[in-house]
Amino acid sequence: MSTWEATGVGSHPGDDHLEAIRVVFGEVPNLPYLPELPARGVGADMIGRTAGLLVDLPVEVQPSGWRLADRPGRDHRRAVDHLRRDLDGLEEIAHDYAGPLKLQVCGPWTLAGAVELKFGDKMLSDHGAVRDLTESLAQGVADHCAEVRRRLPGVTEIVLQLDEPGLPGVLAGTVPTASGFGRLAAVEEWRVEESLRLFPDAVVHCCAPSVPFALLRRAGVRGISVDASLLRRRDEDAVGEAVEAGVTLFLGVVPGRDTRLPDAGVVAKPALELWRRLGFDPESLSGRAVLTPACGLAGASPGYVKAALAACRKAARVLRDDPASGMQGG
């Protein structure tokens, strides 16, 4: 059973990392996270930020995107510098924080579908390259988590989120080749399962349609983070099996871009209705579901970011305090 209630997916607008961290700790104090600010440019984007964590796999930016390099260069250093500043800011603002903290990194399969080999296609085209990438990422993430724990000794646990928006395409064989003229072959599910076991107890975030719930459950993930509006009835058996297996659902219930937000009861409604259809005890909902925005907030205004996170937190309290009446009213 989780007491996390609500959190964000990860990305924020603008380039003021100190303000972004303050907003996070103010609005979702039960599960704050280290926000990402991709608007800062190269190395602050999801791919570059995570590539900067890789051990012995330096990367650089080419006209076609990120590519493996012979040695760390300017692009790699820029990514490392962005993250170091973020960690400095986290230490400054949350130095006396005690509780769980969420960290986000790009998952190995989305990363492999975005980073190119030095001479050839994307890393996803080569099983050996993907294996090397996954092992490098696992070590880099472990080092990253250890540094955060050194900087913030009051953190009781680190919740690792793997961002895998590209995973459905990897499994379906729809990821374009580096040239863009073809598609890379579909990856077998067992390979994905095997790779995810290198990240024990991770939360996998996928804001694309066709989230592979059954695969993620078999891989032993701790949580699955999705856009609730993309869930289809055909997904619900797999969702129910995941919940019964102890997986926590992170349900995206408010849009990632500026809009007028309804009251907390309406925001909570997708979670309440899903729980009712699955046939679970309404009293268990608040301990098994965490409410979030549908995806990252990089395209939103700063004011909307605060409002969206606050809306998730308030809706989570509806789930906690009066779920049965919320279901009857839905």
Q: C-alpha dihedral over 196, 133, 126, 174, to 10 degrees?
A: 60
Mean pLDDT of 157-168: 97
> With 50 as the cut, is the pLDDT of residue 78 above it?
yes
- Residue 133, Ramachandran bin (φ over 0: left; ψ between -120 and 50: alpha; else beta): alpha
Tokens representing 42 are 């190269």
Rounded CA separation 224/151 (Å): 28
Tokens representing 193 are 């399962």
Confidence of residue 2 (pLDDT cuts 50, 70, 90): low
- Give the model's pLDDT for residue 180: 87
Whether 102 contacts 31, CB under 8 Å: yes
**CB within 8 Å of 322: residues ≥ 6 apart:** none
Mean pLDDT of 312-317: 95
Residue-wise pLDDT tens digits, 241-286: 999 999 999 999 999 999 999 999 999 999 999 999 999 887 888 8
Buried b (16+ CB within 10 A) or exposed e, 90-100: beebbeebebb
- Give the model's pLDDT for residue 147: 98
Q: Please report how many Cα atoms fall inside a 13 Å half-sphere around the Cα of residue 144, on the Cβ side.
A: 28
Tell me what percent of the residues of the chain surpass a pLDDT of 90: 89
- Residue 184, Ramachandran bin (φ over 0: left; ψ between -120 and 50: alpha; else beta): beta
> With 60 as the cut, is the pLDDT of residue 9 above it?
yes
Whether 274 contacts 239, CB under 8 Å: yes
Q: What are phi and psi of 217, to 5 degrees?
A: -60, -45
Amino acid type, 202: A
Q: Report which of 326, 313, 224 is spatially closest to residue 275, judged by C-alpha positions.
A: 326
Tokens representing 200 are 């024990």
The larger pLDDT score, comparing residue 76 to residue 284, is at: 76
CA distances from residue 105 to 182, 262, 309 in whole angstroms, order as listed? 28, 31, 20
**Three-state DSSP class for residue 324:** helix
**Three-state DSSP class for residue 107:** coil
Tokens representing 294 are 């549908």
Rounded CA separation 243/234 (Å): 16
- Give the model's pLDDT for residue 265: 93
pTM of the full predicted structure?
A: 0.95
Confidence of residue 120 (pLDDT cuts 50, 70, 90): confident
Q: Please report how many Cα atoms fall inside a 13 Å half-sphere around the Cα of residue 199, on the Cβ side.
A: 33
Partners of 206 in beta bridges:
226
Whether 69 contacts 118, CB under 8 Å: yes
- Give the model's pLDDT for residue 329: 44
Domains of the chain: 17-329 (3.20.20.210)
Residue-wise pLDDT tens digits, 202-216: 999 999 999 999 999
Mean pLDDT of 139-166: 97
Mean pLDDT of 276-304: 92
